[in-house]
Amino acid sequence: MNLNLPKRKVARLSSAVLIVLLLAGCSSKDQVATSSSWAFPFVVYQGTAYGLNGGGEAAPGDKLGEVTFVFSDEQLEPDVEKFLNSAEPEDRERLRSGIYGQSVPVGTAIYAIDGISPEEAIAVETEKGVYRRAEKAGP
């Protein structure tokens, strides 16, 4: 009688393995597309990323420039340094010295904030006469 017990266990184990294999074989093979992206709009000024993630309103100082390039979803690389290093060598310096962003249109004005170093935060004109504080978010 004890000899049948191991056969029963083997049969149950084999059945369980077979069910798992069948279920795995029937699973969907659709792949979910993922992309790396920022959780908030940003602007890059002189190689440093600034996040527009609820910094509040800011009083603009001197104008620093305007956004000249906007990332598309395909170009978006949340690591600014990685993005710059992946650019063609002839484009790197232009990108490092340019002002660009994501979710802000070309021509968006960028300002210093009186009393605050642009290395900490800048002001971004998000609407005519409305300036939002953008905090340093990257190197």
pLDDT digits (tens, 9 = 90+) for 17-54: 555 555 555 555 444 443 445 566 788 888 888 888 77
**Of 61 and 70, which is predicted with more confidence?**
61
The tens digit of pLDDT for each residue in 11-23 reads 565 555 555 555 5
Which of 25-29, 49-53, 109-113, 132-136 has the lowest average pLDDT?
Answer: 25-29
pLDDT at 60 over 90: yes
Kindly report the pTM of this predicted structure: 0.59
Q: How far is Cα 117 from Cα 135, in angstroms, rounded to an integer? A: 11
Sorted by sequence, the CB contacts under 8 Å of residue 58 that are 6+ apart come out as 111, 113, 121, 123, 131, 132, 133
The tens digit of pLDDT for each residue in 78-104 reads 566 676 677 777 766 666 666 767 778
Q: CB–CB of 136/123 below 8 Å?
A: no
